[in-house]
Amino acid sequence: MTHPALLVLADGEVFEGEAAGAAAPVATGELVFNTALSGYQEVMTDPSYAGQVVAFTYPHIGSYGVNAADDESARVHCHGVVVRDLVPEPSNWRAEAALDGWLAARGVPAISGVDTRRLTRHLRDEGAMPCAFGTAPEAELRAAAARAKPTDGRDLVAAVTTRVAYVRGSGPLRIVAYDFGVKETMLRQLERLATVSVVPATTAAQDALALDPDGVFLSNGPGDPAALGGEISTIADLLGKVPVFGICLGHQLLCIALGGRTYKLAFGHHGSNHPVQRLVDGTVEITSQNHNYAVADVRDADVTHVNLNDGVIEGIRCRSAAAMSVQYHPEAGPGPHDARYLFAEFLEMLG
């Protein structure tokens, strides 16, 4: 039996739908849209979506079900899910469960039957914004949407980083990976290169260096990079002492540590088909992306990659230290995998 539900945006726009997933009279978060055609489970379990509600632009979500192998972390991090059609019966040999039941079991509310085309156009024109959805009366949802917080100025890394260090892989080289919200696919790529010590986001530079790493990796993660002053100082202390490679939030933090700054995009980059040009030879890579913030300028570094849709800086390489980073996700699971060569370049940096 379905129950009517409403999605109310902070600007007052209202969308009708039906409650799905976990029962919740009111759920709130910053609403963003994702244009990927597949990978919904990876999106929902990506720690980078902490504090956000994800609206999928692809109309049919859940068609191939879910399975444990596709989790990017141990739990769902987004605050909720908005879809046009939540497929009740998956059809795929890998499926272990249907998406609706999987969401309910993990306490994640959803709303289906939403006109996601109209919703996406609205967010494209007005920008990502807080929202509230659920089965509560419209007046209650409006009040909740007005109170809901955006990601601006918030340290959301503290809620997703590991509490204790752990080790992955067993290679002869050693990498210290800062967990700002690291994804499972990132760790799989890194452990092919080396023994990886995954450490909490607040780990001091001297403690990371005490592990005698051949390199340091800066992971993806949620929230506003400018709010992470301690982590930025740590990265500045590491530069010049050990090779550094950053992805997504790690890219932003590295650029700030080098003297740059970041800003919030109107509706972010969330999807799996963003064209990025590698400036050294003009090659265009198709990339997976998930970020609300971007680097405005860089110092002591050369821009190596740019987004062909809007010119956003997508990659840099430091001039005075062995350090590089990219805004997009070369590890992306599911693909594209055009940029996985970057892990080989990191391996070369490790010497």
- 42-58, pLDDT tens digit by residue? 999 999 999 999 999 99
Same domain, 237 and 131: no
For residue 215, being part of any structural domain is answered with yes
Identify the domain boundary among 104, 129, 147: 147
Q: Which of 114, 147, 180 is the last residue of a domain?
A: 147
Residue 65 CB partners (closer than 8 Å, separation 6+): 90, 91, 92, 94, 95, 96, 97, 98, 99
In a domain, 244, yes or no: yes
* pLDDT of amino acid 342: 96
In a shared domain, residues 281 and 188: yes
Instruction: Tell which of 117, 147, 177 closes a domain.
Output: 147
Q: Using alpha carbons, select from 73, 259, 337, 329 the residue that is nearest to residue 179.
A: 73
Digit-coded pLDDT (tens) for 135-178: 999 999 999 999 999 999 999 999 999 999 999 999 999 999 99
From 207, 187, 209, select the one nearest 198 (Cα to Cα).
187
To the question of pTM greater than 0.85 for the whole model, the response is yes
- Side-chain-side CA neighbours of 104 within 13 Å: the count stands at 10
Question: Is 164 contained in some domain?
Answer: yes
Clarify whether residues 180 and 138 are in a common domain.
Answer: no
Share of the chain above pLDDT 70, in %: 100
44 and 193 belong to one structural domain = no
CATH of the domain at 330: 3.40.50.880
Provide the pLDDT for residue 2: 84
Q: Are residues 126 and 168 in the same domain?
A: no
Query: What does the pLDDT look like over 3-38, one tens digit per residue?
Result: 999 999 999 999 999 999 999 999 999 999 999 999
Task: Report pLDDT for 94.
Answer: 96
Q: Say how far apart CA 290 and CA 272 lie, in whole Å.
A: 9
Number of domains in the chain: 2
Q: Which residue has the tokens 């949620």?
A: 222
Render pLDDT for 70-80 as a digit per residue (tens, 0 to 9).
Answer: 999 999 999 99
Q: Are residues 143 and 176 in the same domain?
A: no
Contacting residues for 10 by C-beta, under 8 A, at least 6 apart: 129, 130, 131, 145, 146, 148
Please give the Cα distance from 141 to 131 (Å, whole number): 8
The reply to whether 193 falls in a domain is: yes
Q: Say if residue 23 is in the same domain as residue 93.
A: yes
Asked if residue 204 and residue 182 are part of one domain, the reply reads yes
Query: Domain check: are 294 and 336 in the same one?
Result: yes
Q: Which two tokens stand for residue 285?
A: 């890579």
In a domain, 152, yes or no: no
- For residues 133 and 210, membership in a common domain is answered with no
Asked whether residue 27 is assigned to any structural domain, the reply reads yes
Does residue 271 share a domain with residue 343?
yes
According to DSSP, the β-strands at 60-61 and 85-86 are: parallel
CATH number of the domain that residue 84 is part of: 3.50.30.20
Quote the domain boundaries for residue 310.
157-350
Quote the pLDDT of residue 1.
Answer: 67
Statement: residue 297 has pLDDT above 90: no
Q: Is residue 132 part of a domain?
A: yes
**Domain check: are 330 and 234 in the same one?**
yes
Active site residues: 248, 329, 331
| pLDDT of 219 | 98
Is the residue at 230 inside a domain? yes
Average pLDDT in the 204-213 region? 98
